[in-house]
A = this chain, B = another copy of it.
Amino acid sequence: MAEPLKVGLAGLGTVGTSVVQLLERGRDKLMARCGRAIEIAAVSARSRGKKRGVDLKHFRWVADPVELARDPSIDVLVEVIGGAGNPAKAAVETALSCGKAVVTANKALLAHHGQKLAALAESRKVALNFEASVGGGIPIVKTLREGLNGDTITRIYGILNGTCNYILSRMEQDRLAFVDCLREAQRLGYAEADPSFDVEGYDTAQKLSILASLAFGTELDPEAIYVEGISSITLADLDAADELGYRVKLLGVAVKTEAGIEQRVHPTMVPKESAIAQVMGVTNAVTIDAAGLAPITLVGPGAGGMATASAVVADLADIARGVRNAPFGRPVARMTAIRKAPMQQHEGGYYINLLARDRPGTAATIARRLAQQDISLESIVQRHGAGAPGTSPSGRSGEPVPVIMITYATSEDAVRRALSAVRRDRVVSGRPQVIRIEKN
């Protein structure tokens, strides 16, 4: 029987304590699967005294995670501290520099420094595994890195943030406003006190940058991602989507286009019958499109201590078995620079919801501005009132009339130009709502 794999565990929050439990509970099974034991040798966290509900007294305590990383008694560092900066970054760098494998759940660290860390791991010939960084318990990293080697991926998209999906699901199912659902999510511990990282799409963007690199073999570039959150989504938008056969989800999308690789995070209308539209609550899902293949969708728990710990332990098991894959699926030298497709060139259908002033000529003005940008409409719905805006029999200027339009495929640029023109014409009230449509 081989020597046990000795783990240094840095971080004892929900994920860290779940790792302790899962290694304990799965001891025999892991031994059978890996041919050796996986044992925690030492732990590190900010506060030693804190109650955590797990028995830590068998583990050596090392106050500084960087010290833990270079501890000669450990073979592998599990980093579940979080954050792109120190001490997480220093701990991971130190472990790799010392020739120790690393398992991390830290999406921020990977999004910002993934390439350098992968190069370091490569030069020291050690594993850098991060299944837990995206999609919690869904084995999406392994699937992209090892499961689909024969395929040419053309698009990858998914629901990568459980908080946003919980809020959008609650809004739709219980007919509540965004702010009420956000408050509920905070009460349940699904959202932070400062929710902007989740609801403004940045969490999704960090995860998307990791998936895009794995899918396309490109360098990571979280700054290359167009990001828009869900805080402007209203019940009226969800109702309109429903009526038109769609559901609204916050998606991260990375797609190969002629202009390069498009990476974007935004509220998206997806066809109601698509696999991704069915995913409700805090669940995550990722769909992979490959050339000549029907799409593959993976659905599962995107967060939570046990789901994330499960991914950490699977990564540890690979290391225990002596499996080492290139962190991003290929040697760092073969990761290609990303050719960024500008968002203005994005092409697709659009949902546009605007408040048209009820004045003569409004409909004609809107129609002309869209036509000038070669935008054709698949459908137009006027919510209240009888005639088209500005054609009310009385001829008098009344309340603004909501007008909902679905365009055929057009470009982001065209939509933006048309809507600024309409606003300059002063025929609409307020800012038009625009939601992109993603076809499956």
Contact = CB atoms under 8 A, between A and B. Distances in A.
B314 A30 contact: no
Given A294-B307, A310-B293, A150 B30 contact: yes
A405 interface: no
A120 to B, nearest CB: 18
B292 A296 contact: no
Interface stretch (A44-52, A65-73, A233-241, A315-323): A315-323
Given A297-B298, A300-B294, A310 B29 contact: no
Contacts of A217: 29, 32-33
A381 to B, nearest CB: 27
Contacts of A150: 22-23, 26, 30, 309-314, 316-317
A128 to B, nearest CB: 16
* Protomer copies: 2
A329 B26 CA distance: 14
Contacts of A300: 294-297
Given A297-B300, A300-B295, A334-B32, A149 B278 contact: no
Interface stretch (A2-10, A140-148, A192-200, A341-349): A140-148
Interface in A29-43: 29-30, 32-35
A294 B283 contact: yes
A151 interface: yes
Interface SS of chain A: helix, strand, loop or mixed?
mixed
Sort chain A's interface into a size bin: 35 or more
Contacts of A304: 294
Interface string A147-166: 11111100000000000000
A136 to B, nearest CB: 9
Interface of A: 22-23, 25-26, 29-30, 32-35, 131, 137-139, 142-143, 146-152, 217, 273, 275, 278-279, 283, 290, 292-301, 304, 306-307, 309-314, 316-318, 321, 323, 325-326, 329-331, 334
17 contacts: A23-B150, A29-B152, A30-B150, A32-B330, A33-B149, A35-B331, A142-B142, A146-B318, A148-B310, A275-B275, A294-B304, A296-B301, A297-B297, A297-B300, A298-B298, A298-B299, A323-B323
